[in-house]
Homo-oligomer: A and B are copies of this chain.
């Protein structure tokens, strides 16, 4: 039997036991893994170096190398995230509905683990530890499939996770890495409905697109963020600038960064040059519609594709709009249903924006950069859902659970 199927089968066999594991047992495992990480820093760095060397000789960009790189600090951060996770409430077993029916049946709906989770991700070794620990905390078994460019790092991290698990009562097969990083194996994973309960892709738009298109296993779609900020006619000048600069430049490579600013024409009349000045000072390159280009010659013409692009760098699309309705219809046409903000002092416009924009997270007078499980107070995050089923927006521990109805009777039959 091949590696994927035999590991997936093993994971499935464990689901009952993992679901029945106590919060204490799971937390102990997390703490043991945290300790194992701290004690194995030199080994992890040595293995990570192999991936970095290969990446460099394959001409990886600095950004990509940075995501791939582990350091003593980064490993210590992972270790401390694990002990923090151990302190969070365990959602498993929580009762989300209770009722006694007229016929005496007692109904209860309780949270249970999803079962076996397949993670498919790119060259970010931190996802290995993140995903493994969140799945452990929620009693799920996880099958990790990272990219070939991080294979040494991932193998080392999973080895260290297993060292931790061996000192706990949780079997090490709760966390398994698929070492065969071929595309064929990934595509087999998409169709492994007999063993996997859900697939979570983490990475760029094309990876996520491919999983959504090809998978028959249910998918939790995460992450692509083509986020907009709409500066309304009544927007307070300095607040609008501060929020836009923050959302665009504080960390441009992440999904909750701003990719297009929509500026109300009335506001633009008074403040457009100061906005453009400030953006250019922060190194932002602007691509605009005809109206924006007319207002400021430092802006180059945007293409149709630019409106739909998640730039993930310091490029920003700019469009002058005539109304809140105009802004809403642009966002619903080009947005990726992630995070959208309105800067306005007009409560009718805010209400309209909240009602008609179709996205996971909507902001009034705040930066889109807050869309994040930690900023939301969830204490953890497995990704940001941009789909509508199951979970929307930042997904914390609860998103990694399903439910079960438990019904107590005393002989009831249906008439």
Contact = CB atoms under 8 A, between A and B. Distances in A.
Interface of A: 15-16, 19-20, 99, 101, 105, 107, 109, 114-115, 191, 193, 197-198, 212-214, 216, 218-221, 236, 239, 242-243, 245-247, 250, 328, 332, 354-356, 358-367, 369-371, 375-377, 387-390, 392-393, 402-415
Nearest to A198: B389
B362 A411 contact: no
A250 B390 CA distance: 34
Nearest to A107: B376
Contact of A409 (B250, B364, B413): B364
Given A332-B16, A393-B405, A402-B388, A411 B369 contact: no
A412 B114 contact: no
Given A375-B414, A402-B392, A366 B332 contact: no
B243 A413 contact: yes
Contact of A411 (B193, B243, B328, B393): B243
Nearest to A113: B388
A358 to B, nearest CB: 7
B356 A20 contact: yes
A409 B363 contact: yes
B404 A218 contact: no
Contacts of A198: 388-389
Contact of A363 (B20, B363, B407): B407
Nearest to A394: B405
Contacts of A358: 15-16, 115
B367 A414 contact: yes
A214 B215 CA distance: 8
A367 B407 contact: no
Q: Which of A101, A246, A366, A393 has the most CB of B within 10 A?
A: A366
B404 A197 contact: no
10 contacts: A15-B358, A16-B328, A16-B358, A115-B358, A239-B411, A250-B414, A354-B406, A366-B412, A375-B414, A389-B402
Contacts of A375: 101, 414
A177 to B, nearest CB: 23
B193 A246 contact: no
A125 to B, nearest CB: 25
Contacts of A390: 389-390
A304 to B, nearest CB: 16
A353 to B, nearest CB: 10
Contacts of A109: 393
Nearest to A99: B377
